[in-house]
């Protein structure tokens, strides 16, 4: 059985960052501040790429649709989602740096092949659908400039395959960082829009929904959550941290990379929502307009430059989203089947890894060219599906980060478990509300929101009591953290299958089946309406 212990860190090859190789000897010899900046520049990449990558074509379209439909009234979600992103992805960073293996492999080792396969199959289906939305985005983005759909998706497919074919992680990462810089075009986009400062401040500070909380508004809220933080991010960033050879000594820098990415991605999402709310106010552009119509709307009401900028943002979002989503799928499949899955491995030595990447790209490109596919509705459905699947993915993440055998002194502190429990409970609450309004369309959603918050509060208080009162005092031992080494997989014991653990896993299985079925019913109704 493969050794799952952490990598041994060499003193010379160090970490390769977006600016090139930086060795440990350079870091040691530099002044303190300079050393810290060099270390951050060396490590930066996985965090900001995974975050900006989630502002993909589906995300850009969903933010714009939300601004068009609800004005500034959903902006309050964005600062909340900064916290959700930072909490979840910080746990992913620790898992990757401490264990040195991918998320799928840890699921297989700690929960068994069934749950690993269950999670990876869920991820595969969701990522395939998400990748379709990326090709939808590039079709509309290049279509805005007159490029035929077949040419647009073919060019995108070739670019995506070429970005990974070199067998060098640094080259792929530099390509991603260039796309991150292009995403900053959201700044001139919002500056060109006649946004209202008072409306923006009110939208950020006062939770609410324009026109009241309806079933459609609930779908949009879940869609925004799903497009801002998705299950694929857990698999991607953990394997990307491993691929970049980031170890525990670099965790604080990778945390900074991750927190910076969380802020950047949510500010960008808010800017798109603000621009759309400002530009389309007073105009009936139409519900669930596709991204091409939104670009034309920006051009008509904010000037041709705004239309061009939105189309370029959509193209960048499609490329970075497709690259990260496809790679996360290949990482997960490699973990499940035990094949080499690294961007540092040449194509001839990891044919299965690269073949899965190419096949996903080819399938998605072909589906987008189907003439009768309802592209705009598919885009929103994918974001909502991501939001529905997210609670189960975060639950597994929480269990892994409290696993003493693999994490040792790096397990979650009590306050983080309490906050993470509250976040997962809120996401489950949203899914429950979506379920109820699907079964009973006329039910008052505001009352549901208040009533379903009671279990969220009780669960959080219960976990808090256990963590702060009943859990043994576990002071952080810095020496133990430095010397900690996860045992080889042959020496690990499978966690005890207690009644509580079994009930949680059964709940996850039932929840996923019911939630996905009812989500499909909701979208059939939405499409027919």
State the CATH number of the domain containing residue 158.
1.20.1740.10
Q: What per-residue confidence (pLDDT) applies to 194?
A: 87
Q: What per-residue confidence (pLDDT) applies to 340?
A: 62
Q: What per-residue confidence (pLDDT) applies to 44?
A: 75
Residue 199 lies in a domain: yes
Q: Give the three-class secondary structure for 21.
A: strand
pLDDT less than 70: residues of the chain: 1-31, 166-169, 211, 213, 215, 282-289, 338-344, 373, 375-376, 379-380, 383, 434-435, 437-441, 470-479, 482, 489-491, 497-501, 518-519, 522-529
Q: State residue 138 phi and psi, 5-degree precision.
A: -70, -30
Residue 101 lies in a domain: yes
Distance CA 308, CA 325 (A): 25
Q: What per-residue confidence (pLDDT) applies to 5?
A: 46
Say which residues have a Cβ less than 8 Å from residue 300's Cβ, sequence separation at least 6.
Answer: 307
For the stretch 37-41, contacts whose Cβ atoms lie closer than 8 Å and that sit 24 or more positions apart, written own/partner, are 39/250, 39/253, 40/253, 40/256, 40/257, 41/17
CA-based nearest residue to 280, from 270, 268, 293: 293
Distance CA 216, CA 376 (A): 15
Distance CA 211, CA 395 (A): 33
Which residues share a beta bridge with 16? Answer: 21
Q: 258-296, pLDDT tens digit by residue? A: 898 889 889 999 999 999 998 887 555 444 467 778 888
Residue 19 lies in a domain: no
Distance CA 526, CA 529 (A): 5
Q: What per-residue confidence (pLDDT) applies to 274?
A: 93
Q: Give the three-class secondary structure for 15.
A: strand
DSSP string, 3-14: --SPPPPPSSS-
Residue 18 lies in a domain: no
DSSP one-letter code for 30: S
Domain extent for 476: 39-488+495-528
DSSP string, 508-522: HHHHHHHHHHHHHHH
On whether the CB atoms of residues 291 and 136 are closer than 8 A, the answer is yes
Distance CA 311, CA 120 (A): 33
On whether the CB atoms of residues 452 and 65 are closer than 8 A, the answer is no
Distance CA 484, CA 334 (A): 26
Sign of the CA dihedral running 341, 256, 42, 174? positive
In terms of DSSP H, where are the helices of 338-444? 351-368, 375-400, 404-407, 414-439
Say which residues have a Cβ less than 8 Å from residue 33's Cβ, sequence separation at least 6.
Answer: none
Q: What per-residue confidence (pLDDT) applies to 270?
A: 93
Residue 14 lies in a domain: no
Q: What per-residue confidence (pLDDT) applies to 119?
A: 79
Residue 191 lies in a domain: yes
Number of domains in the chain: 1
CA-based nearest residue to 319, from 523, 163, 478: 163
Residue 8 lies in a domain: no
Residue 2 lies in a domain: no
Q: What per-residue confidence (pLDDT) applies to 30?
A: 53
Q: What per-residue confidence (pLDDT) applies to 65?
A: 85
On whether the CB atoms of residues 77 and 262 are closer than 8 A, the answer is no
| Tokens linked to 1 | 């059985």
Q: State residue 73 phi and psi, 5-degree precision.
A: -70, -15
Distance CA 336, CA 124 (A): 12
On whether the CB atoms of residues 269 and 164 are closer than 8 A, the answer is no
Distance CA 296, CA 343 (A): 38
Q: State residue 322 phi and psi, 5-degree precision.
A: -65, -40
Sign of the CA dihedral running 76, 77, 79, 83? positive
């Amino acid at each position: 059985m493969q050794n799952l212990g952490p990598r041994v860190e060499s003193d010379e090859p160090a970490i390769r960052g977006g600016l090139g190789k930086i060795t440990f000897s350079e870091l040691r010899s530099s002044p303190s501040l300079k050393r810290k900046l060099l270390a951050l520049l060396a490590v930066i990449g996985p965090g900001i790429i995974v975050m900006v990558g989630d502002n993909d074509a589906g995300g850009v379209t969903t933010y714009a649709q939300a601004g068009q439909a609800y004005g500034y009234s959903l902006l309050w979600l964005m600062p909340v989602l900064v916290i959700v992103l930072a909490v979840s992805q910080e746990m992913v960073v620790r898992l990757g740096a401490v264990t040195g293996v991918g998320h799928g492999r840890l699921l297989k080792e700690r929960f068994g092949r069934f749950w690993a396969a269950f999670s990876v199959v869920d991820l595969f289906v969701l990522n395939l659908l998400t990748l379709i939305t990326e090709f939808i985005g590039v079709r509309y983005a290049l279509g805005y400039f007159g490029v035929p759909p077949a040419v647009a998706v073919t060019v995108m497919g070739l670019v995506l395959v070429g970005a990974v074919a070199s067998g060098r992680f640094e080259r792929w990462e530099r390509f991603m960082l260039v796309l991150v810089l292009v995403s900053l075009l959201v700044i001139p986009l919002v500056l060109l829009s006649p946004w209202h400062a008072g409306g923006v401040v009110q939208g950020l500070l006062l939770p609410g929904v324009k026109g009241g909380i309806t079933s459609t508004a609930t779908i949009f809220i879940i869609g925004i959550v799903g497009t801002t933080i998705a299950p694929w991010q857990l698999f991607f960033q953990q394997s990307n941290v491993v691929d970049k050879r980031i170890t525990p000594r670099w965790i604080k820098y990778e945390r900074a990379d991750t927190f910076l990415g969380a802020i950047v991605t949510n500010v960008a999402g808010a800017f798109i929502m603000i621009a759309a709310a400002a530009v389309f106010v007073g105009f009936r552009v139409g519900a669930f307009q596709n991204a091409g119509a939104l670009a034309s709307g920006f051009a008509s009401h904010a000037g041709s430059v705004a239309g061009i900028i939105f189309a370029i943002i959509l193209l960048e979002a499609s490329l970075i989203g497709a690259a990260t989503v496809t790679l996360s799928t290949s990482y997960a499949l490699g973990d499940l089947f035990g094949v080499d899955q690294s961007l540092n491995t040449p194509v001839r030595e990891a044919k299965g890894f690269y073949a899965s990447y190419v096949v996903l790209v080819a399938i998605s490109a072909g589906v987008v060219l189907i003439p009768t596919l309802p592209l705009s509705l598919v885009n929103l459905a994918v974001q909502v599906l991501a939001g529905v699947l997210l609670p189960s993915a975060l639950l597994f993440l929480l269990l892994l980060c409290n696993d003493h055998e693999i994490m040792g002194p790096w397990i979650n502190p009590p306050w983080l478990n309490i906050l993470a429990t509250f976040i997962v409970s809120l996401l489950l609450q949203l899914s429950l509300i979506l379920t109820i309004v699907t079964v009973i369309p006329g039910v008052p959603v505001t009352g549901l929101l208040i009533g379903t918050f009671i279990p969220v509060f009780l669960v959080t208080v219960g976990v808090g009591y256990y963590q702060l009162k009943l859990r043994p005092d576990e002071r952080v031992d810095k020496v133990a953290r430095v010397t900690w080494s996860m045992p080889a997989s042959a020496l690990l014991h499978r966690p005890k299958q207690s009644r509580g653990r079994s009930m949680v896993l059964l709940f996850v299985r039932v929840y996923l089946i019911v939630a996905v079925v009812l989500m499909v019913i909701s979208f059939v109704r939405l499409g027919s309406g």
